[in-house]
Structure 1
């Protein structure tokens, strides 16, 4: 989360908290999801990213009414689902989809290693807006319903406050409750497409020489050497790496880039320098 995103969420919550009731006239789609006109406002709270599975950024609790659960995005935000790990992936999409994805990511990585100048030993994923060679059509791997799961959130129990029921996509905070409600949108295919264009998977190869914390993200493919080198050898280019082995599919065991780098060094004498 960026500072700008945090401020937007807090500003939305602060605006709603200044009012005691919703207006008497609401957009029909809000009424359709159970939000009642004139409902007393119990609280307006910024939830934020306390839970990685949470998609409700601002929760407006109402008396005798369904709550308004807002997923807030800056206008220039690229991702609805950022850095999906294996555990979260399995809970939302299942093992069959995981297997399809690791197969495709592995095929892509064995191609990309010959196109890039930046070394990498694994590929992580995000979902949302993406173009170019690191973009993959979401629907080539996933279903339409999976898009909604990413955007509105996912729950495995009866607690659903973490699941958003509307979107606020704007870099400017609302100045009034009426302006906030006017700028809310239902979570529909049309609204998602307006925000992201075609929904994509972003393949994120991580360069160990230049990236630090991102090396802790789970990988959906890993580099595996053909053999152990006789002497410790420093490798800094993808072309050197490609001569030593290939990328292979992974199981959902929470493997990350640092794990792969450690294995390469300890078991194969391949040392790829890391940003400190």
Structure 2
């Protein structure tokens, strides 16, 4: 199977590093014209240079905007009013005891992880339907089904994404537009590596050992017994954005290494 997205435009939010940047690389390599996003121009410029180095000839541009705010989404959409593919990747994560989470913490996770995708999809979905083709993907998490007690606020936001994606898929049934969520498990991304490095520094244990213990102790049902790679997650997303995925919609697509035991 050869995925060819030549002629398609793709927006990937929160995409200057980690899973988001991996998705940008995958879409660009498949021929899509990609529009990446970060909060600062420096991050956007660095990501564009990295993309040029790793995917020669990539059609790419970037917009610096904080999509965790209504104002940032408005500025982005004013600059890029249409797309064929939207990947709602922007997200934050972190551990905290439930009793220590403030109202502001809950609001932050809702604004960044949930409302960014709501606002972007609300703007782009209608024109996709009018054109008779489109792809929307929400980057959720296995934590949206397997709510982690150490980060309930994160699991809540990821569960919300799964629900929104399913409802939107039903709302555009029969139009040629598909909407899916993708559920990565713990992934060897920039953000996870930084978290593991902080834990390693605090405990004096090597970062690789911290990662191994994390999977073994906190995700013991993992069948791959390791962190997923960014490329493994990006591959699923690129497929979901392709012509070949025309019958895949309303789905929660797993790239979580078998952590989730229940089917469906």
TM bucket (normalised to shorter chain) is under 0.3
TM-score normalised over the length of structure 1: 0.24
Q: Select the structure of larger CA radius of gyration.
A: 1
TM-score normalised over the length of structure 2: 0.25
Larger helix proportion, structure 1 or 2?
A: 2
Larger strand proportion, structure 1 or 2?
A: 1
Q: Could you say which structure has the greater relative contact order, defined with CA pairs below 8 angstroms and 6 or more residues apart?
A: 1
